[in-house]
Amino acid sequence: MSLSIDEQLNVLSRRCERIVPEADLRKKLQSGRKLRIKLGMDPTAPDVHLGHAVPLKVVRQFQEWGHKAVLIIGDYTARVGDPSGRNTTRPVLTGEQIDANAKTYVEQVGKILLTDPEHLEIRYNGEWFSKMGLSDVIKLLAKKTVAQMLAREDFANRYKSGVDIRLHELIYPLMQGYDSVMIDADVEMGGSDQLFNNLVGRDLQEDAGKPGQAVIVTPLLVGTDGHMKMSKSKGNYIGVTDPPSGQDGMFGKIMSLPDSLMEVYYTLLTDLPATEYKPLIAQDPRGAKIRLAKYIITWLHSAEAADAAEAEFIKVFSNKGVPDEMPEVQVSTDAQKLAPVIVKAGLASSNSEAIRKIKEGAVSLDGQKLAPTDFQKDFTFDKPTVLKLGRKFVRIVPA
RNA sequence: GGGCGUGUACCGAAGUGGUCAAACGGGACGGACUGUAAAUCCGUUGGCUCUGCCUUCGUUGGUUCGAAUCCAACCGCGCCCA
């Protein structure tokens, strides 16, 4: 349990892209104090995914060494509403939505972190921001210059390429940094895109006459598409509460990852030694993927769920079978066209799309592929029937 | 406040009076192949009561037999000047 400081830093290095400044972190670890490890989350969407899991795993590591995680829920910033992304004015979230999101956050984060009060403190930044007056805000703004803010890479890029930057976005780093001042963070965790914001926190703390936090950033996890950062809005994420199997389950999502991602996923999401997974990936990429899928499901669900998911996967995809569990739609027993049924089953968003899919040969009933002209036919469902479109299955049940 | 630009489908981007539901690329989705990988090939990518009809090219109103294309006003965005 009592690793030397060097050993601790070595453990951390697996998931840390940068530690700034490393000497400072070393000093904090040496002090023997119980450190406060800050991690901020915006409750704008209710899903925690594997991309978040990377810094969370590091936080968990700190917890196990006896330190305390401080989770900041950015309720105040969410309440203001972030209009970045020009054409989609994001609706301002209501207090209830934020509370609901925050609650599920804490639940989901609990899959990864220790949640007892000794190890976890949860704070909402509305606690201090809601009390600030304009003069306080101006004082905060005066801490930094425009040039300093524009030094941030993504601001600089947007500015250069003419994508607008709203003024409140410029002050986000300051707000986030102010959180660090208020909770006396010793260390702030984040993805590598947070480096700038986190360093602002360090500056603000020192400016306030407090010790500055050390900043640790983790690599960004690439999403299931294989090239963009995992994020909710890109739809390329694996949620920590996703079901183990099924069409949107973890097993399938992990199996469909590009091989090129295997090594990073093993490094960031498992604790297996490189000497073990590297040869595995090289020799048997498919086996490596199955092992990874089972590892992650065991971690976030259970070993039994992992076995079941594997069995299901082999049955459905390796042996082209039919899954045990699938969503059901109730449909009347009258003769009817198939397209509306496909829409009702959620496999297409319009009749036209459903008809196209039939014409493309993507649709089958009980394993019988439909002919392109079958969209004109009437079908009668007097017994349960398995409808398949692409990889997705739905059971049609007579009502 | 002034000048100059610009606004096309999920994104980028053609199209400057009819042959435009709108080229092309990316993405996405399907099919073949496979390891639900990659690569490759093929198809689809506004809606509908589907061999036809309806609605779309920032918004509204006009010109015209006919407009994404011309005119006007308005709105958004960018750059420059103040």
Q: Give the containing element (helix H, strand E) for A277.
A: helix A274-283
Which pair of tokens denotes residue A43? 């409750």
Q: Summarize pLDDT for A213-247 with one digit per residue, the tens.
A: 999 999 999 999 988 889 887 889 999 999 999 87
User: Omega before A327 cis (within 30°)?
Assistant: no
Q: What is the DSSP string of A36-69?
A: EEEEEE-TTSS--BHHHHHHHHHHHHHHHTT-EE
The gap between A395 CA and B46 C1' (Å) is 29
Q: Summarize pLDDT for A125-158 with one digit per residue, the tens.
A: 999 999 999 899 989 988 988 888 878 877 777 7
The gap between A348 CA and B17 C1' (Å) is 38
User: Among A246, A251, A265, A258, which residue's Cα sits nearest to residue A293?
Assistant: A251
The gap between A124 CA and B65 C1' (Å) is 66
pLDDT of residue A306: 97
Nearest nucleotide to A284 (CA to C1') is: B35
The gap between A65 CA and B31 C1' (Å) is 53
Predicted TM-score of the model (pTM): 0.88
User: Among A51, A43, A45, which residue's Cα sits nearest to residue A237?
Assistant: A51
Nearest nucleotide to A252 (CA to C1') is: B36
Q: Tell me which nucleotides of strand B come within 7 A of a protein CB.
A: 11, 27-31, 35-38, 43-50, 76-79
Q: Provide the residue-wise pLDDT of chain A in tens; the chain has 399 residues.
A: 578 899 999 999 999 999 989 999 999 999 989 999 999 988 877 789 999 999 999 999 999 999 999 999 988 877 665 544 333 344 556 778 888 888 889 899 999 999 999 999 999 999 999 999 989 998 998 898 888 887 887 777 777 666 667 777 778 889 999 999 999 999 999 999 889 999 999 999 999 999 999 999 999 999 999 888 898 878 899 999 999 998 789 999 999 999 999 999 999 999 999 999 999 999 999 999 999 999 999 999 999 999 999 999 999 988 888 898 899 999 999 999 999 999 999 999 999 999 999 999 999 999 888 988 899 889 999 999 999 999 899 999 998
Residues by CB within 7 A of strand B: list them.
A 86-87, 162, 164, 225-226, 247, 249, 251-252, 255-260, 285-286, 289, 313, 316-318, 339-340, 349-353, 355-357, 360-362, 389-392
The number of angstroms, rounded, from the C-alpha of A107 to the middle of its chain's C-alpha atoms is 14
Instruction: Give yes or no for a contact between A56 and A112, defined as CB atoms under 8 angstroms apart.
Output: yes
- Phi, psi values for residue A394, rounded to 5°: -140, 140
Nearest nucleotide to A224 (CA to C1') is: B37
